C-alpha cells in the first residue's frame, strides 16, 4: 500500500489517540470522536484512507450491522479487514475504522442510508450492497423514495459493482442506474412501503410468496425447474409502466441459497430467523464479488453468533432472556419471526433521541401474532405500546422496569424485543452476556 501523505498520517494518528482517550475515560468505544478529530485536521482523510483498498459499503434500513459483520467474517478468509463493527456508520466512523486497520487490504463499511452517496463519492468503493428500504421510526414512504433517488444519482456512471435485493422494489429502483448489478432474491417481509411503483407511482402487482416468507408446505427444489418456480413466485411488476423485478442471480430459498450456477447451499448459520438468512445470502454474493467462493465464505458466516449484543442472552435468577433489537416497523416483524411462540415475551419501548421521540410508528406494526403467549410491556413509553396492544386484542401485563418484568417470569427462557435505547439499557444493566 502507498504511504499516506504526512498530514493524513498525523490526522489519523491523532484521531486514534483521541479514540483511545475517549475509551479510557469511559465515553464509549471512541470511534466517532476519533474520526471527527481526524477529519477536522484533514478533511480529505476518508478519501486518503480508502485509497488502494478494496471496499464494500453496506446500506439498508435493517440488517446493515449484521450483514457488515457477516461479510467481514467472510473476507477475513482472504486477509485483514477494516470495519466499523460498532455501527458508527457515518464518515467519522468510517475514518476511525480505516485508520485503526491501516494495512488492511479490505474494508467493509456499514453506511447510513442517507450518507451512502457521499461515502461512495469519497471512497470510490468497488462494491455496494443494498438490502432493503422501509420507513424508519417517523420517516414515511416519500422520504425513503427520496433516499432511493439519491442512490440512483450516486450510482449512475460509476464502475461500482452493486449487489442488491431485487425482492424490494424500492431497492431495485435505487440500484438500477448502476453499471453492474448482481441481483439477489433475499425476500421481503415488510411490504407496506412498496405498494406503489417508484418509477411512475402506479400500483405494483405481486405474486404471493410461498417459500421462506410464507407458511405453506412445499417440496425442496432439486432442479433448475424448481428454482424457476421460486423465482416467479416472488415476482412483482408495475401495472402501468415497464418497471418490474429483475431476474436474480442468487436466490434465498428457505434455509438455503441457490448460487448463480444453480448449486444449492444449506446456510446453517447460527444467527436466527429468515431476516438473517437473507443477510447471509447478500453476504455470500458480496464475498463472490471479492473473488471468494461460497465454499470458503459460508463456513465463516457460520462462525458469527451474535452482533453487537443482538441475540445474546442475559441471565438473572434463573431467567434467561434473549435480546432482540427492533428499531422500526420492519424490524419488529423480523423480531417476531425470530421469537419463539412457545415462550413468554417482554417488549420494551423508549422514545429517546436515537429511538425517535414520536411513537406513532407503533401503530404500523401488526401485533396479533403475539396473541396466546404471555406478553409483558415495559420501557419509558410502555403506555403507548399498551394502548396499541389493547386495540389489537393482545392481552398483556405492564411492568415498571425491565427487572420487574423479568422477575415476573417463571425460571427458564424468555424473549425480549426492545428498541434502541431500551436495548442498550438492558445490556448495560444486565451486563455480561451468557
Ligand atoms: Zn410504474
Among 132, 1, 99, 116, residue whose Cα is nearest residue 54: 1
Cβ 233 vs Cβ 248: under 8 Å: no
CA of 148 to the centre of ligand 1 (A): 15
CA of 246 to the centre of ligand 1 (A): 14
CA of 140 to the centre of ligand 1 (A): 20
Task: Tell me the pLDDT tens digit for each residue of 44-80.
Answer: 999 999 999 999 999 999 999 999 999 999 999 999 9
Cβ 83 vs Cβ 114: under 8 Å: no
CA of 249 to the centre of ligand 1 (A): 23
219 pLDDT exceeds 50? no
Mean of per-residue pLDDT scores for the chain:
89
CA of 365 to the centre of ligand 1 (A): 27
CB atoms within 10 A of CB 224: 10
The residue-averaged pLDDT of 110-131 equals: 97
CA of 16 to the centre of ligand 1 (A): 49
CA of 193 to the centre of ligand 1 (A): 15
CA of 237 to the centre of ligand 1 (A): 8
Among 310, 330, 299, residue whose Cα is nearest residue 62: 330
CA of 242 to the centre of ligand 1 (A): 6
- Strand-pairing partners, residue 397, are 376
pLDDT band of residue 40 (cuts 50, 70, 90) is: confident
Q: What is the crossing angle of helices 91-100 and 6-24, to 10°?
A: 100
87 pLDDT exceeds 90? no
Query: What percentage of the chain reaches a pLDDT higher than 70?
Result: 90
CA of 171 to the centre of ligand 1 (A): 14
Task: Tell me the pLDDT tens digit for each residue of 139-173.
Answer: 556 689 999 999 999 999 999 999 999 999 999 99
5 pLDDT exceeds 90? no
CA of 165 to the centre of ligand 1 (A): 18
The residue-averaged pLDDT of 36-45 equals: 86
Cβ 289 vs Cβ 163: under 8 Å: yes
Q: Quote the cell numbers at residue 280.
A: 447471509
* N-terminal to C-terminal alpha carbon distance within the chain: 41
Residue 262 and residue 111: Cα distance in Å, rounded? 31
Task: Give the model's pLDDT for residue 1.
Answer: 61
Q: Quote the cell numbers at residue 317.
A: 435468577
Task: Give the model's pLDDT for residue 404.
Answer: 96
Task: Tell me the pLDDT tens digit for each residue of 325-363.
Answer: 998 999 999 999 999 999 999 999 999 988 888 888 899
CA of 244 to the centre of ligand 1 (A): 8
CA of 10 to the centre of ligand 1 (A): 51
227 pLDDT exceeds 80? no
CA of 202 to the centre of ligand 1 (A): 5
220 pLDDT exceeds 50? no
217 pLDDT exceeds 70? no
Task: Tell me the pLDDT tens digit for each residue of 359-379.
Answer: 888 998 999 999 999 999 999
The residue-averaged pLDDT of 25-49 equals: 82
Task: Give the model's pLDDT for residue 65.
Answer: 93
Among 212, 276, 256, residue whose Cα is nearest residue 63: 276
Burial of 42 (0-12, 13-18, 19+ CB in 10 A): buried
CA of 64 to the centre of ligand 1 (A): 28
CA of 58 to the centre of ligand 1 (A): 27
Q: Bigger pLDDT: 33 or 253?
A: 253
The residue-averaged pLDDT of 272-298 equals: 97
Task: Give the model's pLDDT for residue 307.
Answer: 86
CA of 373 to the centre of ligand 1 (A): 42
Least confident of 116-130, 139-153, 220-234: 220-234
CA of 204 to the centre of ligand 1 (A): 7
User: Which residues crowd ion ligand 1, with CB under 5 Å?
Assistant: 197, 199-200, 202, 238, 240-241, 243
Task: Tell me the pLDDT tens digit for each residue of 302-326.
Answer: 999 988 888 889 999 999 999 999 9
pLDDT band of residue 208 (cuts 50, 70, 90) is: low
Least confident of 8-17, 29-38, 148-157: 29-38
CA of 194 to the centre of ligand 1 (A): 12
CA of 4 to the centre of ligand 1 (A): 47
CA of 205 to the centre of ligand 1 (A): 10
Amino acid at each position: 500500500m502507498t504511504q499516506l501523505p504526512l498530514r493524513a498520517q498525523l490526522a489519523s494518528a491523532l484521531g486514534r489517540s483521541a479514540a483511545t482517550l475517549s475509551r479510557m475515560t469511559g465515553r464509549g468505544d471512541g470511534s466517532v470522536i476519533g474520526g471527527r478529530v481526524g477529519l477536522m485536521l484533514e478533511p480529505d482523510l476518508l478519501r486518503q484512507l480508502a485509497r488502494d483498498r478494496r471496499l464494500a459499503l453496506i446500506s439498508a434500513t435493517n440488517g446493515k450491522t449484521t450483514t457488515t459483520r457477516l461479510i467481514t467474517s467472510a473476507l477475513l478468509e482472504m486477509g485483514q479487514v477494516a470495519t466499523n463493527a460498532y455501527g458508527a456508520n457515518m464518515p467519522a466512523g468510517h475514518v476511525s475504522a480505516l485508520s485503526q486497520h491501516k494495512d488492511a487490504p479490505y474494508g467493509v463499511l456499514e453506511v447510513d442510508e442517507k450518507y451512502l452517496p457521499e461515502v461512495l463519492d469519497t471512497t470510490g468503493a468497488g462494491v455496494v450492497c443494498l438490502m432493503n428500504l422501509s420507513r424508519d421510526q417517523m420517516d414515511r414512504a416519500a422520504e425513503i423514495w427520496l433516499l432511493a433517488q439519491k442512490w440512483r444519482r450516486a450510482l449512475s456512471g460509476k464502475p461500482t459493482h452493486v449487489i442488491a435485493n431485487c425482492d424490494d422494489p424500492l431497492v431495485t429502483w435505487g440500484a438500477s442506474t448502476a453499471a453492474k448489478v448482481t441481483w439477489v432474491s433475499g425476500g421481503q417481509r415488510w411490504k407496506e412501503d412498496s405498494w406503489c411503483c417508484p418509477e411512475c407511482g402506479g400500483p405494483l402487482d405481486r405474486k404471493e410468496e410461498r417459500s421462506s416468507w410464507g407458511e405453506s408446505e412445499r417440496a425442496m427444489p432439486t432442479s433448475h425447474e424448481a428454482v424457476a418456480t421460486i423465482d416467479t413466485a416472488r415476482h412483482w411488476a408495475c401495472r402501468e409502466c415497464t418497471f418490474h423485478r429483475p431476474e436474480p442471480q442468487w436466490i434465498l430459498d428457505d434455509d438455503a441459497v441457490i448460487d448463480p450456477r444453480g448449486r444449492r447451499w444449506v446456510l446453517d448459520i447460527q444467527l436466527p430467523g429468515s431476516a438473517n438468512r437473507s443477510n447471509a445470502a447478500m453476504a455470500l454474493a458480496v464475498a463472490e464479488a471479492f473473488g471468494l467462493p461460497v465454499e470458503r465464505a459460508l463456513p465463516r458466516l457460520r462462525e458469527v453468533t451474535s452482533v453487537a449484543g443482538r441475540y445474546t442472552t442475559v441471565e438473572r435468577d434463573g431467567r434467561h432472556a434473549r435480546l432482540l433489537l427492533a428499531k422500526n416497523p420492519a424490524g419488529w416483524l423480523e423480531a417476531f419471526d425470530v421469537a419463539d411462540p412457545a415462550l413468554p415475551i417482554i417488549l420494551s419501548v423508549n422514545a429517546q433521541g436515537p429511538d425517535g421521540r414520536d411513537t406513532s410508528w407503533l401503530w404500523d406494526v401488526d401485533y396479533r401474532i403475539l396473541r396466546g403467549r404471555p406478553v409483558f410491556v415495559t420501557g419509558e413509553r410502555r403506555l403507548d405500546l399498551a394502548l396499541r396492544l389493547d386495540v389489537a386484542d393482545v392481552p398483556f401485563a405492564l411492568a415498571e422496569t425491565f427487572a420487574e418484568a423479568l422477575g415476573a417470569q417463571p425460571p427458564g427462557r424468555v424473549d425480549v424485543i426492545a428498541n434502541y435505547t431500551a436495548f442498550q439499557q438492558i445490556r448495560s444493566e444486565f451486563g455480561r452476556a451468557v
